[in-house]
A and B are shown apart, each in its own frame.
Chain A
């Protein structure tokens, strides 16, 4: 995979995860998924939570597997992975604290 693509991976995972969670949120609210309860929450909440955790996992994996050191050639893809991880965690943490719909 090219260097430029590697650098875009982390933010790209955030983009996919953010879009997926926002889409699930809209779909779930419209289709009444929040009324389908699975203790201690709802199908809607768990769907979003699962997507969020998958996004975190994907970015964390990138942080682990992308090589360290070696100047900017390695640093930028790793920085991209950290950007993705930080953005996934921070922008989607409302899943934990806010009501769904």
Chain B
């Protein structure tokens, strides 16, 4: 990657007949017809809308649950819900809103909007988009079904141990959460990978990172945070599920575990999660305000720097959720300072937006009203956040209704209001129709009144001492009027949201047709037909828009094919891939077409989850084998038996297709996946370090077995993997592939021998359980590397490998090297434990 800011342009292609291009492209890019077409769709517009619509359904369900909670709390001795059901409902309300509404909604917005705003034709990995959607849907349905059958999670949306452990939470309620949420998180990781790669590799020529629309910067920050933020929670969920299912102690004090490890892993995800939710919303705000104010954004560079600061600082705050667990003063002070500091980059953005409004001429259309609602609400939430960052106040307010009020101010202020602004702003692009005036404004005012009536009062409820998550309060008459007020206004809030939904539906069905680019938008999404076609642009933009240039100015030119890669003359789904920093054209990617493979894959993963929930552990390897077979088929569809000629993208420029490029999108995706995987591995090492140093009941009572034999086996396994890393660097062909396969299988056999000889029963102590997990992690990665080597070997046998098609070997090398490095670290830990006892 070289330095950015060296923009350049390409000559346009000659104009063609726009309708002809539209028909040609539509034949290639459109979904299949009928129900089958819905199942096999991989298009980002379809799936982005589907993500958002499904998220809205879950939002409505979560809202109904909230109403039930408020009905119960309206009176001090309510009998609307019994305690068991109340516990399930508040747990599901939080879990649904976080995991099934907010995150999928931001994913859906990113998936739907990013290709349009970047002027490309689809996300980098359309089948991954579809896989993410199905995993989200199936995971969400598992959780909802559990609620219908009365076995929903009941331990709070952060599932603290030991309450969520097998002793205190028997039955499958907690398992539903752990497995269901992890299933849904596959969707989040999939979205994070493809959003990152799409932003870094699919911008128009000359759109350097420093000229990128702010929405893309925000989404890039979000996706990177998701790559790093979700793995700790996935690890925590896996460890807790293993503890519950197989009795391996990670969080149980008596056997060397510690419940605080769960809190660390959860909040390592949980606090960045707030910013993961906020950043896309801020991206929408940064896009909408300049358009609504007829000016350009003030402080582009300052906002990008603020995003950079937020992405990092938000990972240094997690302990402020744990201020009352007995942490030494100095550590409290570190996290208190970081929690206060994070307000600075947030304030930078707020002032940039205010400055933009000050410089422009704000027009109070509906999106702007919602943004005003955002300012009022989010700033108040931010200020109570600073209050909670101060340790003595936090000690007083912890686990009270004050915190509930604060988090709703931050999440509804920082996410829901901006999302409503985004919905009303982009609705003309989605439906091709304008608003029916009046209803949306009424909905806004009712929501604003209902929200502040509900949650402002809740601060006071908390300050007079009401804890969260209690279902009755017969001995506290001073809380009665406060709770009753919150309950009444919460129904007002619900009416407001219902009005908003009605407004959206009416607009989609009955609104007047809008002209192209009704807002005079400044991003490429407004240079398209409305509603948006499956292929987005008939030809791709030759350069980014200049600051302040209305997108409508280039719309006709792109529709007539005067941009790059016009039409689909080869009958393939093609788009342009550019270099990360400079935005120079690199190659042409050919995307796969419609397929049911993502559905089959998510169904197979769902089968694994259901087998785990049913306790049929013995059958789970079958589901995992099925996943492996489908991954193999997925990969096979990416190979090609012959070379492809270069593709002309502009009169003076032809580019190779991705088969002949080394730096493919898949390679970028694998790098992202390894970043997430590396974070999970680092979290595992953190867990080991934390328990070793902090947990009571260490060292483990049984000395370690193995000694010198163990050390020799460990070194031999790592040595075999190092040979694999060497083999993948040899000349492309059959011999390196079969060598790689052989040494990986040898390493796998050594790891299995090591596990059989040197490991204690993992149920004895957390040390033994963690050693087993580390060994299993290494073994799993050796298996994956062996699979990759076998895949390359099969390609070599079929004559599909060639020095002109270097991508697959480069990808194998990444995975093989990762395996070697992590296995070496595991080996060091195992040997060190043997020495230290």
Interface residues of A (CB under 8 A from B): 2-4, 7-8, 11-12, 14-15, 18, 21-23, 25-27, 29-31, 71-73, 75-76, 79-80, 83, 86-87, 90-95, 97-101
User: Are A2 and B693 within 8 A (Cβ)?
Assistant: no
- Other than A3-B209, A90-B337, A93-B337, give 10 A-B pairs with Cβ distance below 8 A: A3-B2, A15-B312, A26-B693, A27-B693, A30-B694, A72-B304, A80-B308, A92-B337, A94-B330, A100-B328
Assembled-state Cα–Cα distance A58/B210 (Å): 26
Select from chain A the residue with minimum beta-carbon distance to B331.
A25
In the assembled complex, B716 has its CB within 8 A of some CB on chain A? no
Tell me, rounded to whole Å, the shortest Cβ–Cβ distance linking A60 to chain B. Answer: 18
Contact across chains for B334 and A92 when beta carbons are under 8 A apart: yes
B678 at the interface (CB under 8 A from A): no
Q: Are A4 and B580 in contact (CB under 8 A)?
A: yes
Are A14 and B341 in contact, with the CB atoms below 8 A? no
Inter-chain CA distance A97–B305, complex, in Å, is: 30
Within 8 A of A (CB), among B1-39: 1-5
B592-646 residues at the A interface, CB under 8 angstroms: none
Q: Which residues of chain B come closer than 8 Å to A100, judged between CB atoms?
A: 328, 330
Return chain B residues, CB-CB under 8 Å to A15. 312, 315-316
Given the known interface contacts A15-B315, A18-B338, A87-B313, the answer about A99 and B330 at a Cβ–Cβ threshold of 8 Å is yes
Given known contacts A25-B331, A27-B693, is B305 in contact with A14 (CB within 8 Å)? Answer: no
Contact A3 B1 (CB under 8 A): yes
A83 neighbours in B (Cβ, 8 Å): 305, 308-309, 312, 345
Which of B5, B315, B331 has the most A CB atoms < 10 Å from its CB?
A: B331
- A99 contact from B315, B329, B689, Cβ within 8 A: B329
Give Cα A96 to B3, complex, Å: 40
| Interfacial residues, chain B to chain A (CB-CB below 8 A) | 1-5, 209-210, 300-302, 304-305, 308-309, 311-313, 315-316, 328-331, 333-334, 337-338, 341, 345, 580-581, 689-690, 693-694
* A23 CA to B541 CA, complexed, in Å: 49
CB atoms of A73 and B312 under 8 A apart: no
Q: A97 to B328, alpha carbons, bound, how many Å? A: 13
Contacts of B308 in A (CB 8 A): 7-8, 11, 76, 79-80, 83
With a cutoff of 8 Å between Cβ atoms, the chain B residues found around residue A80 in the complex are: 305, 308
Bound complex: CA of A27 vs CA of B580, how far in Å?
40
Contacts of A14 in B (CB 8 A): 312-313, 316
Question: With a CB–CB cut-off of 8 A, which chain B residues contact A18?
Answer: 316, 334, 338
A79 CB to closest chain B CB (Å) equals: 4
Return chain B residues, CB-CB under 8 Å to A92: 334, 337
- What is the CA–CA distance of A37 and B209 in the complex, to the nearest angstrom? 51
Specify which chain A residues have a CB less than 8 angstroms from the CB of B338 in the assembled complex.
18, 87, 91
Q: Are B330 and A95 in contact (CB under 8 A)?
A: yes
List of 4 A-B pairs having minimum Cβ-Cβ separation, nearest first: A94-B333, A11-B312, A2-B1, A79-B305
B812: min CB distance to chain A, Å: 24
**Alpha-carbon distance between A87 and B311 when the two chains are bound, in angstroms:** 13
A25 touches B330 (CB 8 A): yes
With A12-B312, A29-B328 in contact, do A91 and B5 touch (Cβ < 8 Å)?
no
> Which residue of chain A has the shortest Cβ distance to B333 in the bound complex?
A94
Q: Cα distance A26–B331 when bound, in Å?
A: 8
Interchain CA distance A43-B382 in the complex, whole Å:
38
- The answer to whether A87 touches B341 (Cβ under 8 A) is yes
Give the nearest-CB partner of B580 in chain A: A4
Bound-state CA distance A80–B312 (Å) is 10
List, in ascending order, chain B residues with CB within 8 A of A26's CB. Answer: 331, 690, 693-694
Chain A residue with minimal CB distance to B211?
Answer: A72
Task: Knowing A11-B308, A80-B308, A100-B328, say if A94 contacts B301 (CB, 8 Å).
Answer: no
- Residues in chain A near residue B694, CB distance under 8 A: 26, 30
- When chains A and B are docked, how far (Å) is the Cα of A26 from the Cα of B261? 13
27 pairs, A vs B, C-beta closer than 8 Å: A4-B1, A4-B209, A4-B581, A11-B312, A15-B316, A18-B316, A18-B334, A22-B334, A25-B328, A25-B334, A26-B331, A27-B693, A72-B304, A73-B4, A73-B210, A75-B301, A76-B305, A80-B305, A83-B309, A83-B345, A87-B312, A87-B316, A91-B316, A92-B337, A94-B337, A98-B333, A100-B330
Chain A nearest CB from B272 CB (Å) reads 12
Q: Are A98 and B309 in contact (CB under 8 A)?
A: no
CA distance A3 to B2 in the complex (A): 7
Q: Known contacts A4-B209, A83-B305, A87-B312; is A72 also within 8 Å of B5 by CB? A: yes
**Contact indicator B331/A22 (Cβ below 8 Å):** yes
A91 contact set on B, CB distance < 8 A:
316, 334, 337-338, 341
Do A11 and B304 touch across chains, with their CB atoms under 8 A apart?
Answer: no
CB distance from B693 to the nearest CB of A (A): 5
Q: Are B1 and A76 in contact (CB under 8 A)?
A: no
Give Cα A90–Cα B690 distance, bound, in whole angstroms.
25
Contacts of B300 in A (CB 8 A): 72
A14 to B316 CA separation, bound complex (whole angstroms): 10
In this complex, the member of A75, A87, A100 whose beta carbon has the largest number of chain B beta carbons within 10 angstroms is: A87
**For residue B689, which residues in chain A have a CB less than 8 angstroms away from its CB?**
23
Q: What is the bound-complex CA distance between A75 and B308, given in angstroms? A: 13
Most chain B beta carbons < 10 A, residue from A30, A72, A98: A72
Q: Take A3-B4, A11-B312, A26-B693 as given contacts and tell me if A90 and B330 are in contact as well, using a CB distance cutoff of 8 Å.
A: no
Least CB separation from B224: chain A residue: A8
Chain B positions within 8 Å of A73 at CB level: 3-5, 210
Taking a contact as CB atoms closer than 8 A, the residue among B5, B315, B333 that contacts A71 in the complex is B5
Interface centre among B309, B341, B581, by most chain A C-beta atoms within 10 angstroms, is B309
Q: Given A2-B1, A7-B308, A22-B331, do A90 and B341 touch, yes or no (CB 8 Å)?
A: yes
Find out whether the CB atom of A3 lies under 8 angstroms from the CB atom of B329: no
The residue among A12, A15, A76 with the most chain B CB atoms within 10 A of its own CB is A76
Taking CB as reference atom, which chain A residue is nearest B304?
A: A76
Q: Which residue of A lies closest to B315 (CB)?
A: A15
A11 touches B328 (CB 8 A): no
Contacts of B580 in A (CB 8 A): 2, 4
Whose C-beta in chain B lies nearest to the C-beta of A78? B305
Bound form: Cα–Cα A17–B313 in Å: 12
Name the B residues within 8 Å of A12 (CB-CB): 312
Return chain B residues, CB-CB under 8 Å to A75.
Answer: 301
Residues A101 and B328 in contact, CB atoms below 8 Å apart: yes
| Chain A hits for B331, CB < 8 A | 22, 25-26
Enumerate chain B residues within 8 angstroms of A101, measured Cβ to Cβ. 328, 330
Cβ distance B832 to chain A, nearest Cβ, rounded Å: 15
Interface contact B581-A3, CB-CB below 8 Å:
yes
Contact A87 B328 (CB under 8 A): no
A79 to B312, CA, bound (A): 13
Which residue of chain A is the closest to B693 with respect to CB atoms? A30
B301 touches A76 (CB 8 A): yes
**A87–B309 touching, CB < 8 Å:** yes
Q: Report the Cα distance A99→B329, complex, angstroms.
A: 7
B311: chain A residues at CB < 8 Å are: 11
- Tell me the bound Cα distance from A71 to B694 in angstroms: 48
Contact (A2, B581) CB under 8 Å given A11-B308, A92-B334: yes
Q: How far is the CA of A14 from the CA of B334 in the complex (A)?
A: 12
> Which among B302, B304, B689 has the greatest number of chain A C-beta atoms within 10 A?
B304
User: How far does the alpha carbon of A67 sit from the alpha carbon of B493 in the complex, in Å?
Assistant: 52
Verify B301–A72 contact, CB threshold 8 A: yes
CB-CB nearest in chain A for B5: A73
How far in angstroms is the closest Cβ of chain B from A68?
14
B341 CB contacts on chain A under 8 angstroms: 86-87, 90-91
B210: chain A residues at CB < 8 Å are 71-73, 76
Per the bound structure, the CA–CA distance linking A32 and B263 in Å amounts to 24
The CA-CA distance from A91 to B725 in the complex, in Å, is 41
Q: Least Cβ distance of A100 to chain B in Å? A: 6
A99: chain B residues at CB < 8 Å are 328-330
CB distance from B185 to the nearest CB of A (A): 23
B682–chain A nearest beta-carbon distance, Å: 10
Query: Which residues of A lie under 8 Å from residue B329 when comparing CB positions?
Result: 98-99
CA distance A94 to B216 in the complex (A): 36
Interface centre among B311, B312, B341 (most CB of A within 10 A): B312
Set of chain B residues within 8 Å of A95, measured between Cβ atoms = 330
Query: What residues of B have a CB within 8 angstroms of the CB of A29 in the complex?
Result: 328
